[in-house]
A and B are shown apart, each in its own frame.
Chain A
Amino acid sequence: MPSLGERSVSEILQTRGLTKNFGGLAAVMDVNLVVNQGTTHAVIGPNGAGKTTLFNLITGYLDPSQGSVFFKGKEITRLPAHAICRLGIARSFQLTNIYPKLTVFESVQMSLLSLNGLSGNLFRQSSSLFKKETEGILDMVGLIDQKTSVADVLSHGDKKRLELAITLGNKPTLLLMDEPTAGMGPDETWAIVDLIHKLRKDEGLTVLFTEHDMDVVFDIADRISVLHQGVLICDGLPEEVQKDERVRASYLGTASYSGSY
């Protein structure tokens, strides 16, 4: 899998000196992260390492205390979240973040309406818009049978899948996934892994994700960055990261890597 070298294709996302302080605590400190076009890039680190904060800074949920974020060479620091989304960055959330009382179909359709600039349209019948596209996405994530279900009644795994389908409806060029398989059973987890493989192959999607399951990380990531207490301590190919002493000490444990975290 790791076919992309140290210096390769164009950067799609770059952070420069990104810092976020919460009171006296630096959740993210001077992070310089580069994500290359077409890669599947993992951000790992123990709980509280600042992974989610980093995602929140990139997607405009939080404003950084210092530093900047560039997407396709353009600065996006401090843009509102909806504007960042419109540039082609979509994200899923660690805790499922869906529309409880809407149907699965409507939830995904909303993203497509937004993408096509129709979210403010008053004169069309929404139920008939982007039917095929919505069903295509639901089919891809395996939710087509539940399309008329209300999102709230779905199982946890299906909610995670819906969460992913909502982000795919935005047809992003960069997809950020915050623990896409958290709380899922093994079967569901590997279904998601297969889906991510498929997405990058078929759609050429660049993926930046966090994950605690090391099997998943080493299966899909072709580049790994390690955060520890808000600091980027290591960044490289999976085998490099696996060998790195600091990473072992801080995260994988001083004993050799044993499969999962």
Chain B
Amino acid sequence: MRLLGVILCFFWIILGVVVGDFWLHVATKCLIMTLFAMSFSLLYGQTGLLSFGQAAFFGVGAYGFALSLTRFGLPFVPCLIIGLISSVLWAWITGYICVRLSGIYFAIMTVVVTQMTFYILFQWYGFTGGDDGIQGLLPPSFLGDPHAYYYYTLIIVASAYFAYHKILSSPFGLSLRCIRENMVRIEFVGINVRRHRLGAFILAGFFAGLAGILYAPFTRTIAPQMANWHSSGNAVFMGILGGPSYLLGPSVGAGVWVFLDAFVSGYTVYWPLIIGMIVFFIVFFMPGGLTGLVSTYLTSSREKPIIIREV
């Protein structure tokens, strides 16, 4: 487990040195999207809550950063903190309502949240710039170089992944899995399901917000579309693709999706069609996603390493 973690870190560190500008850009995006997929996976794969609303917190994180930078002219780091706090607070407020519902009603409520967030960002011209978005989100000069930004992203994402691992193996992680498995039974074990779900929702909001504050200075321009349900769908797709209840799932899902996006879109304008067919195939034949596939076929022992064991 630890060995695999070290190998993965080395892979990403070396990747930043060997690849050219285009693939460095792709790799950075892949790292950021890993956090976005993680946000979805924590809710769906661990807690059993199908959220179509993670883009709301992705968007709020990015806008929180961008607005404090452009409207209030704050320095870079406080802007990042404000972005993160705003997405956590927004997750807290909207989660308070969402976690009261279950199943399809929860899913619909999260769509409502993400569309509401989108329309606020889209129509509040005076403050958010509406559909023009916000441009000129330059990172400070020491992160201006793509390589510097790549390593800065890598440090944050690796730390977040470590935290994700800790959450999954903590007592809270076990509580979430119990809620996923049987939310009726767990109440009779003394667990306040709503409170634990809200905790998971806020943590997921944190990861999405973290993705948002990394994304804004990376693309240097943001638009309200990053908070709509189409954007949420990307998180759902990456999560399902990688295997939402596996520790490694979010990184596999984000890696494959961003790579396909970069690679296939160079060949055909119909790349969403290809992506769609891949989703179809995975949902139909690989319920555990790509990590689940590896887990089933590459390891026969009962004691699988946690990284590819369904948790």
- Shortest CB distance A52–B (Å): 14
- Nearest chain-B residue to A101 (Cβ)? B181
| Interface class of chain A by DSSP | loop
User: Residue A110 at the B interface, CB < 8 A?
Assistant: yes
How long is the Cα–Cα vector from A169 to B178 in the complex, in angstroms?
14
Are A59 and B188 in touch, CB under 8 angstroms? Answer: yes
Chain A residues whose C-beta falls within 8 Å of the C-beta of B191 in the assembled complex: 82, 110, 114, 119
How long is the Cα–Cα vector from A119 to B166 in the complex, in angstroms?
14
User: A102, A106, A119, A123 — which one has the most chain B CB atoms within 10 A of its CB?
Assistant: A119
Are B175 and A113 in touch, CB under 8 angstroms? Answer: yes
Are A114 and B172 in touch, CB under 8 angstroms? Answer: no
Chain B residues whose C-beta falls within 8 Å of the C-beta of A119 in the assembled complex: 171-172, 175, 190-191, 196
A-contact bits for B168-186, CB 8 A (1 contact / 0 none):
0111111101100110111
- Nearest chain-B residue to A115 (Cβ)? B190
Are A80 and B192 in touch, CB under 8 angstroms? Answer: yes
Are A81 and B187 in touch, CB under 8 angstroms? Answer: yes
User: Residue A91 at the B interface, CB < 8 A?
Assistant: yes
How long is the Cα–Cα vector from A169 to B188 in the complex, in angstroms?
11
- Nearest chain-A residue to B174 (Cβ)? A126
Q: Restricting to B254-311, which residues have a CB under 8 Å from any CB of A?
A: 302, 310
Are B178 and A110 in touch, CB under 8 angstroms? Answer: yes
Chain B residues whose C-beta falls within 8 Å of the C-beta of A97 in the assembled complex: 182, 184-185
User: Residue B1 at the A interface, CB < 8 A?
Assistant: no
User: Residue B199 at the A interface, CB < 8 A?
Assistant: yes
User: Residue B193 at the A interface, CB < 8 A?
Assistant: yes
- Nearest chain-B residue to A81 (Cβ)? B187
- Nearest chain-B residue to A93 (Cβ)? B185
Q: Restricting to A62-83, which residues have a CB under 8 Å from any CB of B?
A: 80-82
Contact of B188 among A81, A122, A123 (CB under 8 A): A81
How long is the Cα–Cα vector from A80 to B195 in the complex, in angstroms?
13
Chain B residues whose C-beta falls within 8 Å of the C-beta of A114 in the assembled complex: 175, 189-191
Are A122 and B175 in touch, CB under 8 angstroms? Answer: no
Chain A residues whose C-beta falls within 8 Å of the C-beta of B175 in the assembled complex: 110, 113-114, 119-120
- Shortest CB distance B62–A (Å): 26
User: B173, B174, B175, B177 — which one has the most chain A CB atoms within 10 A of its CB?
Assistant: B174
Chain A residues whose C-beta falls within 8 Å of the C-beta of B182 in the assembled complex: 97-100
Are A170 and B171 in touch, CB under 8 angstroms? Answer: no
- Nearest chain-A residue to B184 (Cβ)? A97
Given the contacts A101-B181, A122-B170, A111 and B189 also touching, CB distance less than 8 Å: yes
Are B190 and A123 in touch, CB under 8 angstroms? Answer: no
Are B302 and A148 in touch, CB under 8 angstroms? Answer: yes
Chain B residues whose C-beta falls within 8 Å of the C-beta of A110 in the assembled complex: 174-175, 178, 186, 189, 191
Are B174 and A120 in touch, CB under 8 angstroms? Answer: no
Chain B residues whose C-beta falls within 8 Å of the C-beta of A102 in the assembled complex: 177-178, 181
Are B193 and A123 in touch, CB under 8 angstroms? Answer: no
How long is the Cα–Cα vector from A82 to B188 in the complex, in angstroms?
6
- Shortest CB distance A60–B (Å): 8
Chain B residues whose C-beta falls within 8 Å of the C-beta of A148 in the assembled complex: 302
How long is the Cα–Cα vector from A255 to B233 in the complex, in angstroms?
67
How long is the Cα–Cα vector from A125 to B182 in the complex, in angstroms?
22
Chain B residues whose C-beta falls within 8 Å of the C-beta of A118 in the assembled complex: 171
Interface residues of A (CB under 8 A from B): 59, 61, 80-82, 85-86, 90-91, 93, 97-102, 106-107, 109-111, 113-115, 118-127, 129, 148, 166-167, 169-170
Of all A-B residue pairs in the complex, the 5 with the closest CB atoms, nearest first, are A99-B181, A85-B190, A81-B187, A114-B190, A121-B171
Interface residues of B (CB under 8 A from A): 166-167, 169-175, 177-178, 181-182, 184-193, 195-196, 199, 302, 310
5 inter-chain pairs at a CB distance below 8 angstroms, sorted by A residue, are: A81-B187, A82-B190, A99-B181, A99-B182, A119-B196
For the A-B complex with A119-B172, A121-B170, A169-B189 known, give 10 more contacts whose Cβ atoms are closer than 8 Å. A85-B190, A91-B188, A99-B186, A110-B189, A114-B191, A119-B190, A122-B171, A123-B166, A123-B170, A126-B174
